[in-house]
Structure formats: C-alpha cells, structure tokens
Amino acid sequence: MTTQLLDTKMFDEYQKQLNEWQSQFTDWQKSFFDTWLESMSTDGKDMKFTETFKKTVDIQQEFISNYIEAQQKASQFALESQKKFWDNYFELVRKAPTPETPKI
C-alpha cells in the first residue's frame, strides 16, 4: 500500500494568512491607541470627542471586516483540508489489496 502525504502548500498558505491577519490586528491596535492618545491634549482641556468617535467607528469597522475575512479563510482552509483528507483516505482504501472471500 502506498501512502500519500498531505499537500503542505495548504498549511503554508494557512500560516501565511494567519500571519497577515495577526499583522493587521497589531496595526489596528496601534492605530486605535494612537487615535485615542491623539484625542487627548497634554492639559486635558481640548478633548476631540467628535473626531475620536468617527475615527474609532472607522477603526472598528476595519477590524470587523478583517476579522470576518480571517474567519472566512480559516473556514475555507478547514473545509479544503477535510476534503483532501477524505479524498486521500478513499483513494488509499481503493488501492489496498482486498481480502479474498472465504469459500464455504
């Protein structure tokens, strides 16, 4: 019986996408805190609440969009991996020698 290894390109692609999402999340965090700190003046008198609110909503929308995209990619990867696993399994089962039926 021959064995086939799973295609590692799928795992490499998943790792690449995960790293991209983590990078986007880190950028989002930095942007969020930079905006928050920017809205506060050093003396605390000139708070820019309207500008901060708009920026915060924009950042939240971007974060949610990125999160949904990451979830979509993770789900797609999981489905592709399962399909590949079961396709390989049934291919190997079909190639395996079948036992002879005993004669009665």
Residue 80: name the closest of 16, 9, 21, 19 by CA: 9
Per-residue model confidence (pLDDT) at position 1: 41
Per-residue model confidence (pLDDT) at position 57: 87
**Rounded distance between C-alpha atoms, residue 16 and residue 12, angstroms:** 6
**Rounded distance between C-alpha atoms, residue 68 and residue 62, angstroms:** 10
The alpha-carbon radius of gyration of the chain (Å, integer) is: 26
pTM for the whole structure: 0.47
DSSP category for residue 4: -
What average pLDDT values come out for the chain (104 residues) when binned by 10 residues? 55 78 79 72 62 83 88 88 91 86 76
